[in-house]
Amino acid sequence: MIYLDNAATTPVDPQVAQVIADSLKNDFANPSSLYKIGAQSEYKIAAARKTVADCLGAKEDEVYFTSCASESNNIAIYGLATARKNWANKIVTTGYEHPAVRKPLANLAEYGFTVVNVNPKDDGNINPQDIIDAVDSKTALVTLIHVNNETGAVLDIKTLCDKIKEKNKRTVIHIDATQSFMKLPFDVSKIQCDSMAFSGHKIYAPKGVGGLYLKKGTNIKTVMAGGGQEKGLRAGTENIHYILGFAKACQLLQPDMRRNLAKFAQLKAHLLNGLAQFDNVMINSPDNAVPYTVNFSFMNYRSETLLHFLEADEIYISSGSACSKGAASHTLTAMGVDAKRIDSSIRVSFGIHTTEEDIDTFVAALKSAQEKLQKVKR
């Protein structure tokens, strides 16, 4: 099997799986219980929280565990925006956000918020000044995706946060770091963002666990009430087993982030070199995109047809965002890409287990597809 869809999800690391298996057997007590074994569960969660916080550059009490990045985004967006409704009704965002951001913003628009979308240019990049210019005295929230999930386009969040705060220090900034956490080195203590969402299943932990960074002292309304877990921000008995696995995944990746980036850069160069032999390939990812995601169009061949052709050889890619289920790419549409090119677009995303041999096999399979598949007729 050749798996080239790591932006959608990653395989669970065996060491992470072992931590979870051990916890399932040993850590059954509710962390909120007052007796000894409950306190032991609470202690283990606290240790995991410190591990994740250290990877972020955050304080322990600024990290909250959730079920996924989508939940983290929802908690932050609804909670931060509504907490400022009395003085501000404007939200600024990019035109290529993940649905976990776009849909909550659409709901807030129905409740009186004005949502301003800053679209990418045709090269896939967003002009940072356009985001800054959209911020005014009535801007409650700016929410930005650090790395776009479809093209790998990356924003300079540090510079953007500095300039947004300079323009309106009351505006809160949320970052969706789902595609950058534990892949791009950064330190939230040096970034003027107020919250950040991230996920476990993008970093070799299981689905069902994620995290939210919330800067200490940030005013936020609770949108998920209940028993008071996670300092009242996210109610529900903590999933200690997956939390411990999540922390283990962070611990495993942290020492090798820069080495992994160098490896991804080599893989990307190898892929682009292989794609150069095709006269029908159009690269959709920006030149300065992250090295672990490449979006391109294999013109005149429908992406869904190509996906299933490759699947027959156990080669797995994506025809866009895994959350869009075959819908036309929102990101490429926002870039102004024409429908035929969108219909032929695929995304290849590398993981720590990807090899150059995998890329060679994939490129050879594209050649075979070109020979055997009927072209799109339009």
Residue 318 pLDDT exceeds 90:
yes
Active site residues: 323
The answer to whether 4 and 362 are in contact (CB under 8 A) is yes
Q: Are 127 and 366 in contact (CB under 8 A)?
A: no
pLDDT band for position 325 (50/70/90)? low
Q: Which residue has the higher pLDDT, 242 or 33?
A: 242
**What is the mean pLDDT of the segment spanning 96-106?**
97
C-alpha 258/C-alpha 367 separation (Å) is 33
Residue 321 in this model has a pLDDT that exceeds 70: no
Q: How does pLDDT run across 59-75, given as a tens digit for each residue? A: 999 999 999 999 999 99
Q: Look at residues 334, 12, 18, 321 and name the one whose alpha carbon lies nearest to residue 152.
A: 321
Confidence label for 224 from pLDDT (cuts 50, 70 and 90): confident
Using one digit for the tens of pLDDT, what is the confidence trace for 14-45? 999 999 999 999 999 888 888 889 889 999 99
Structure tokens at 268: 């990307």
Write a three-state SS string for 330-378. HHHHHCCCCHHHHHCEEEEECCCCCCHHHHHHHHHHHHHHHHHCCCCCC
What is the arithmetic mean of pLDDT over 338-346? 95
Beta bridge partners of 316: 3
All residues at 6 or more sequence positions from 206 whose CB lies less than 8 Å from its CB, including other chains: 12, 16, 17, 20, 200, 242, 245
Return the H-helix or E-strand segment holding 46: helix 36-56
Mean per-residue pLDDT, 241-255? 98
pLDDT of residue 114 exceeding 70: yes
Average pLDDT, the chain: 95
Q: d(Cα 91, Cα 105) in Å, to the nearest integer? A: 8
| Strand extents, DSSP E, 67-220 | 90-94, 114-118, 139-145, 172-176, 195-199, 210-214
Q: How many CB atoms lie within 10 A of CB 378?
A: 7
Angle, vertex CA 51, rays to CA 50 and CA 57, nearest 5 = 80
CB 60 within 8 A of CB 53: yes
Q: Identify the pLDDT of residue 98.
A: 96
CB burial of 156-181 (b: ≥16 within 10 Å; e: otherwise) equals ebeebbebbbebbeebbbbbbbbbbb
User: Residue 230: what pLDDT?
Assistant: 87
Measured distance CA(14)–CA(84) in Å, rounded:
44
**CATH number, domain 14-254, options 3.30.360.10, 2.60.40.10, 3.40.640.10, 3.20.20.140:** 3.40.640.10
Using the CB atoms, write b or e for 85-102: b if 16+ within 10 Å: eeebbbbbbbbbbbbbbb
Give pLDDT, residue 219: 97
For the chain, what are the domain ranges? 2-9+255-372, 14-254
Taking each helix axis from N to C end, the angle separating 356-372 and 257-275, rounded to the nearest 10 degrees, works out to 30
Confirm or reject CATH 3.40.50.880 for domain 2-9+255-372, answering yes or no.
no
For range 173-190, the mean pLDDT: 98
The structure tokens listed for 23 are 């916890």
The answer, yes or no, to whether residue 197 has pLDDT greater than 90, is yes
Residue 374: its pLDDT value, please? 72
On the CB side of 111, CA atoms within 13 Å amount to 12
pLDDT the model gives residue 117: 98
- Is 215 within 8 Å of 62 (Cβ atoms)? yes
Pick from 89, 69, 70: nearest CA to 81: 89
DSSP run (H or E) holding 81: helix 69-82
Kindly state the helix (H) or strand (E) to which residue 298 belongs, with its residue range: strand 293-298
